[in-house]
Structure formats: C-alpha cells, structure tokens
Amino acid sequence: MSKIVASAAIRGAHSWAEEAEAALKQAIESKGESQKLEFPETAFFLPMAYSLLGMEVKDLAGAKKIMARVRSLLPPVPSEKVWLPYLGPTLDAGIATLLSTEMITALRYLRGELPAQGDQGFISDTILRSLGIQLVDGRMPGFAAILGSAPTNEIAVKVVRELQQRNILVFLCDNNDGKTMRQQLEQEKVELGWDTYIVPLGSDLVSGIYALNWAMRGALTFGGHKRGEFVKCLEYQRDRVFAFGLVFGEVTDRRYAVGAGAINMGFCVIADTDIPEIRPTGVTLFEALVRERNYDKIVPTCIQTRGVKVKVEKVPIPVNYAAAFEGERVRKEQLAVEFGGKASVAFEWLRMKSLDQVEDGKITVVGPDVDTVPDGKSLPIAIIVDVAGRKMQRDFEPILERQIHHLINGAMGVMHVGQRDIVWIRMSKDAKAKGFKARHFGDILHVKLLQNFPSIADKVQVTIYTKKEDVEKLLAEAKKSYAERDARVAGMTDESVDTFYSCTLCQSFAPSHVCMISPERLGLCGAYNWLDGKAAFEINPTGPNQPVVKGETIDPVKGQWDNVNKFVYQKSSKKIEKFNAYSLMESPMTSCGCFECIVAIVPEANGVMIVNREYNGMTPSGMTFSTLASTTGGGLQTPGFLGVGKLYVTSRKFISADGGLARVVWMPKDLKETVRERLEARAKEVGLDDFLNKIADETVCDNAGDLLPFLEKVGHPALTMPPMF
C-alpha cells in the first residue's frame, strides 16, 4: 500500500464515517433510537456488521453501536515524514468504510429513498440463494464491480461484452461527472438486468456496498461460517468469490476507501488512471492494486490479477467432443488427412512460458490447412502448446504434454496415437466435411488444459505448423527439450533424494494398497514415475500423490526406511507395518491390480519369471497372468509375487535385495523385445554376458519341467546363486 494510497483511503474512510454518523444522528433525532432499521428481504440484518462484528442490529440504537466500532477502527492519516506502518491501519479503514457505507444505505431505506427505477439497490436473500451458489461453486467465474463511466460508450460496451462472454457478472455503480455506465450502455442499446449478467446497483459510489454485502452473505449461507467469524468470512471471500473492482476515472479518497474495504475481502482493484500500484501479494491472492491504461487489455488484466478461472463449457469445434470418442479408429478408407505415423514428420511439444509471453486463447496455424490436401494424403505437423501460469513449472511440461493424446482423441473423427515425435494423427472424411481444421486442435487443447488443470494453467496458446521446413526446424529444438527431460530422471537414484511419493489412487478397490514411487522404481502401473508423482503433488496438494520423507534408513539393501514404514502403516489403515522396496521375498510392496507385469518366483529354477499383462498364454509357474493377478493384487503382501511397471525390470533396484536381474529366468518374447535395449545395457552393467538369450520365453517352454534343462544348457546364473529362501 503506497503511502499515497493509504493516506487517501484513510481520509476517505473518515469522510464516509462522518457522513454515516451525521445521517444516523439525524435519523435518531427525528425517529428515536427504537426506530427499526433494516434492509428489505434479508435475514442477515446489516450483513457486513453481522458477519464482521457479529452484531444483530435491528434498530437505530444498534446502529449507534456499529458506528462506535467504526470510530475505534479509524486510524490517523500517516504522517508526511517518519511514518508509522500503514497497511494494517488502512485495512482497518477499509473495514470502517464497509460498515459506514452499509449504514448510509440502510438509512436511505429507512428514509424511504428507494433506488431509482432500473437500479437494483440492496440485493435480497432470494437472489443471493439463486445466483450466489453459482458464484461460489464456480459456475459463474466471478463478478466485476465497475465504478464510474467509461471514457467512451464504445469502451463501455467493449468491456461489458468481454466480461459477459466469460460469464462474469457485472455490477455497475457510481458515476463520473454525473455520467453513469448504465446510461452509456442504454444509449448503445445494451440489454441490462440479471438475465444478461449486467446489473446496475445505483448511480453513486455508496451503492457499491450492495455488491459487497451480497457477496459477504455467501460466506454465511454457503460457507457455513458464523456471524462474527470475521477472519473466516473474509478469507472465504478471497478464496471462493472471484470478484474484482474496475475503476474508471480518477480514484478519489472515497473510492480508495471503498477499495481498501474490497482488498480486505481479497478483491483486487484495477484502475484506468495513473495510480500507484500495490503489487505484493498475501492480503489478496495476487496483486492488490493495479493500473491498466490500455482498454484492450483491461479485462484480461482484471482476470489475471484476481486469478479468475473462466470455464468454457463446450469445446468450440465443429464435431462432437466426448470421452466416448477416445477409442475410435480412423481406417484408411475413411481417411481424409493424416499427420505423422510413417506418412510425414510430426511432433507435439508443450512448453512453459512466462505470463507476458502467452496470449490466452491465441491459436495460430502457419502453413497449408487440411482442406488443401487431397483425401488420403498427409501433412507434416508441429503442435506447439505454450502454457503460462503462476504455479506452472518446467516439471509439469511432460505431464501436460502427455494429456494431448487423450484430449485430441476426444474429438469425433480424429484419431491420435503416440506422443512426442512418434505421434500419429488421423482425421476422417466426416470430420473434414463438418469443417474440422488444423486450428481446432488448438481450440481443444486451449479449452481442455485450462479446464482440467485450473491450478497450474492460467493461459494457453497454441501454434500449429504444417510446412515441412518449419516442422523440421522446430523438431530439432523439441528433441533437445525431450532429451533434457529424460536426462532429469535418468540421472536420479533413490539415494540422491530424501523424498519419495506415494500413490493411493487405487485404494478405491484395494483399500490397503500404497504405492511408493522412488526415482528407481516407478509406479507398478507404469504411468507414474517419481517426477510425475512430484508434479502431481504440486498440481493437487491434497491428492493421492503425497511426498514421503524417507527418514532414517533401516535397511539400505532391502530398501526400508523409518518414515516410509510409518506412512505406509497409516495409509494402509494399519494393515501393512513395513515394506522392503527392493525385495520380492521379504515384506514386498503390495499391489493393487493395475500392474503392467507380475514378477513371480519359480522355485525349481531358484529364480523368477516376469509376465506382462498382454501375454495370455501359460507360464512356468503353472498359472496364466490373470490367475497370477488374483494372487498378487488386492493390496496384500504376498512374498514371492510382485506387481511391477515394465521399466522397473531394468532398474538398478529391481529386486536387488534378492539378487536382482540375474534371477530372471523366463519372460514372454514380446516383453523381452519391449525392454530389450535397456535390459541389455543393464545386463552389461552387472557383467552378465549374453544374458537375454539365457532368459527363456514361450518359444522355449511354458512349463517348469522344460525350463530347467534349458537353463542348465545355457548356464543361467540363477542356478548357482544362493537359495531364494
């Protein structure tokens, strides 16, 4: 709060208080202290006084008590030099203003001075119930209180239309030199009223209180807070009611005072004049007082400053959009145009950018569009998504990027396979006929990323390139970024971090199962590695991925830590007392049911077999995958059976307490191929020669009887290792 602002707001608060005191004095003189005082149609008395002071004021005697409190809140104006801290006092002055303006308006009703025709005045509890709930549950993203009139009718219309488009409720109050924004809009034939989300409250500044004491009642009605719980009521406003003030014209002392009241409620103020800004955060979510002289930017500035999350209900594309279309294939005969696969060069790349580098909703297509290509042919494509957000981090890039797959797949007649530079997108003739174009990829990503990740994505812009030279040039850059991301996880070991991440996503069907994700052991479903867990926690701090500080190491070989045990014990409803991250045989990790593979002991061979979900034949354990799964899953510790992610097989920590990779005697051929490269590298690392060929697969045998002779023939290391139990 700059001193200029503080001084003005405090002066303003004094002036409001004096006006309220004078009006009250006059009312008492003419009607006596027992005269009833109330707003129409509310059960909350004078709502500000009720919520902030806990006072049930019904008459002028009670009103006197409010004004006594107001007096005690009014601070002196900061001195010219050697001033004392003024933020606290100014916020107090704001509260005094809220109470005083409420008093002034209540006394108007008492005197029978009703709002002018077409002005709303006090907002009843009925409207609160019908519209307020939309405001606090997010259907209505927020409200704007506009003070004064715009410099031109054109700007007035533009600003209001921009807010309307975003479903933001607009309250109008105050005037500049007698001219109100209501008049401006009426001259331009803009329809006003609750139905169009544009509500004139009154032609003077004091009417602004109607919006504020309406919002305040939300904390009592929907927030369940009690009267007098001022901290809770005000924080509810900051956290749930995304309101802001937009001031046109000079910011007078009295306007500053009302602004200080709004800031107490966590509502920021944006002005179109050259005022001193208050940028530090804490009282408000983001900046408290901001100037914006550019009318093209004024609404986006409001939205960004208050952190209003505008939801677009429908994805603006010419084909249907739903999760139901995700699995749909586009066959050759239906093919209009394809990108990537083997047909052309294609990739997707999501990048973090700073807030000022991203224009929200900007979709650009550079190069020929889909209608320039004959059916069945291909185009190169680069889909570059730039995301900015106050809480966005580099670590979130791959997670958001991975969403592109299922987001684009949701469009009817569009097929999306793969990711990064192995992406393959097909569009059907039907989709093309309905008018689907390249830019619609951007529309989908813009709307859905904002919708699905409101806490981290504030702005999304998408650029699509379809010229080969552009795509190839950008691909080189993207590849650098992919490599950087990979390197970030590759270099990490369980020892190099002090925190693991839990995953309890599957507790709905395996209530005692707790996944513990470490850098060298990804989740058993294969979908979450350590960085994902970390990012997921930051995206949703109360979600299923929680950080677990390892604590004291109990057993470095088996992988057991003090805090991990405590956490697992607590989160498994006290079912699992301890677990060893690196052992199959002793207190292994539980499995839910989503594992990519099962590791199972083959006692005859003194080793283990690994079977993946996709393999439906018989295995040397005498059981198929699905039979094994029923033994392994369900959140129980079953020594000898373990659900794992595919990549874990090649980890340094793969059942390292039981002998590690050298124990693997059998796995299906497909699985072997999938992990071949990594497996070979890992085998070489531990000095196992020609190891892959020593692992049997279904082409060698599918039972234990035939397995042993093979192992003996190839000289499998497991045979000479210490007994597994």
Partner 1 sequence: MKEKSIDKATLQMMEKAKCDNVCTAFDRAAQQEPRCGFGELGVCCQQCYMGPCRVDPLGKGAQYGACGIDADGIVARNIARNTAIGASAHSDHGRDVAHNLYMTSQGKAQGYEIKDPVKLMYVAEELSVDTSSGDVKKIAAEVAHKCMAEFGKQEGELIMAQRAPEKQKERWRKLKVMPRGVDREIVEVLHMVHMGMDADYRNLLMFAIKAGLSDGWGGSMIATDLTDIQFGSPNPLRSKANLGVLGENTVNILVHGHEPTLSEMIVKVARTPEMKALAKKKGAEDITVAGICCTANEILMRQGAPLAGNYLMQELAIVTGAVESMVVDVQCIMPGITQVAPCYHTKIITTSKKARIPGAVHYQFEEERAVDIARQIVTESIENYSNRKRDRVQIPKESSDLIAGFTTENVFYHLGGKFRPSFKPLNEGMIQGRLRGVVGVVGCNNTKVVHDYNHVNFVKELLKHDVLVVTTGCSAGCLAKHGFLDPEGGLQYCGNGLKEICVAVGIPPVLHLGSCVDNSRILTACIEMVKEGGIGTDLSQLPVAGSAPEAMSSKATSIALYVAASGIAVHFYPPFQVHGSKKVTEYLTSEMEKDFGAYFIFEGDPKKAAQKIIAHLDKKREALKLKPMMYPPLNGETDKKAAEKQAAVSKS
Applying CB under 8 A, the residues found at the interface with partner 1 are 1-3, 6, 52, 73, 78, 81-92, 94-95, 230-231, 234-235, 264, 278-283, 288, 351-354
Residue 561: CB minimum distance to partner 1, A: 16
282, 374 contact by CB (below 8 A)? no
Taking the least distance from each CB to partner 1, the nearer of 95 and 106 is 95
Residue 1: CB minimum distance to partner 1, A: 5
Token pair, residue 273, equals: 């004049």
Half-sphere exposure of 22 (CA within 13 A, CB side): 6
Residue 391: CB minimum distance to partner 1, A: 10
Taking the least distance from each CB to partner 1, the nearer of 282 and 327 is 282
For CA atoms 329, 334, 339, 340, the dihedral sign is positive
- Across the beta sheet with 381-388, the strand order is 346-352, 381-388, 459-465, 363-366
CA dist 263 and 286 (Å) reads 11
Determine which helix (DSSP H) or strand (DSSP E) holds 335, and give its type and residue range. Answer: strand 335-340
Phi, psi of 387 (to 5 degrees): -120, 130
Residue 111: CB minimum distance to partner 1, A: 29
Phi, psi of 454 (to 5 degrees): -60, -25
Taking the least distance from each CB to partner 1, the nearer of 351 and 432 is 351
692, 661 contact by CB (below 8 A)? no
For CA atoms 95, 98, 101, 105, the dihedral sign is negative
- Report the b/e string of 666-686 with b at 16+ CB within 10 A: bbbeebbebbeeebeebbeee
Residue 534: CB minimum distance to partner 1, A: 10
Region of residue 148 (left: phi > 0; alpha: psi -120 to 50; beta: else): left
Residue 66: CB minimum distance to partner 1, A: 14
CA dist 242 and 59 (Å) reads 33
Residue 122: CB minimum distance to partner 1, A: 23
Residue 565: CB minimum distance to partner 1, A: 17
Taking the least distance from each CB to partner 1, the nearer of 91 and 695 is 91
Cα 317 to the chain's mean position, in Å?
Answer: 23
Token pair, residue 190, equals: 């803009």
Token pair, residue 349, equals: 């790349």
CA dist 712 and 705 (Å) reads 12
264, 162 contact by CB (below 8 A)? no
Taking the least distance from each CB to partner 1, the nearer of 233 and 711 is 233
Distances (CA, A) of 618 to 220, 612, 613, 703, 710: 63, 12, 12, 8, 17
Residue 394: CB minimum distance to partner 1, A: 8
Taking the least distance from each CB to partner 1, the nearer of 190 and 388 is 388
CA dist 429 and 414 (Å) reads 10
The amino acid that residue 116 corresponds to is: A
Helical packing angle, 230-240 and 208-221, nearest 10°: 100
148, 220 contact by CB (below 8 A)? no
Counts of helices then strands in the chain (DSSP H, E): 22, 25
Taking the least distance from each CB to partner 1, the nearer of 240 and 426 is 240
Those residues whose C-beta lies under 8 Å from the C-beta of residue 78, and which sit 6 or more positions away, are 3, 6, 7, 10, 84, 86, 89
Residue 246: CB minimum distance to partner 1, A: 21
CA dist 423 and 319 (Å) reads 22
- H helices of 519-575, in order, are 530-539, 562-571
**What DSSP state is assigned to residue 278?**
B
Phi, psi of 98 (to 5 degrees): -55, -45
Taking the least distance from each CB to partner 1, the nearer of 282 and 722 is 282
Residue 7: CB minimum distance to partner 1, A: 10
CA dist 622 and 198 (Å) reads 72
Residue 499: CB minimum distance to partner 1, A: 11
Residue 227: CB minimum distance to partner 1, A: 14
CA dist 632 and 214 (Å) reads 57
Residue 288: CB minimum distance to partner 1, A: 8
Taking the least distance from each CB to partner 1, the nearer of 400 and 510 is 400
Taking the least distance from each CB to partner 1, the nearer of 73 and 522 is 73
Phi, psi of 365 (to 5 degrees): -115, 125
Taking the least distance from each CB to partner 1, the nearer of 46 and 688 is 46
Taking the least distance from each CB to partner 1, the nearer of 526 and 547 is 547
Distances (CA, A) of 651 to 217, 667, 685: 57, 16, 11
Residue 564: CB minimum distance to partner 1, A: 17
Q: Bridge partners of 289?
A: 269, 278
Taking the least distance from each CB to partner 1, the nearer of 87 and 692 is 87
Taking the least distance from each CB to partner 1, the nearer of 231 and 476 is 231
Taking the least distance from each CB to partner 1, the nearer of 78 and 245 is 78
Residue 230: CB minimum distance to partner 1, A: 5
Those residues whose C-beta lies under 8 Å from the C-beta of residue 42, and which sit 6 or more positions away, are 122, 124, 125, 217
Taking the least distance from each CB to partner 1, the nearer of 172 and 278 is 278
Residue 552: CB minimum distance to partner 1, A: 10
Residue 401: CB minimum distance to partner 1, A: 15
Taking the least distance from each CB to partner 1, the nearer of 288 and 711 is 288
CA dist 526 and 247 (Å) reads 52
Taking the least distance from each CB to partner 1, the nearer of 260 and 315 is 260
Those residues whose C-beta lies under 8 Å from the C-beta of residue 364, and which sit 6 or more positions away, are 439, 442, 461, 462, 463, 464
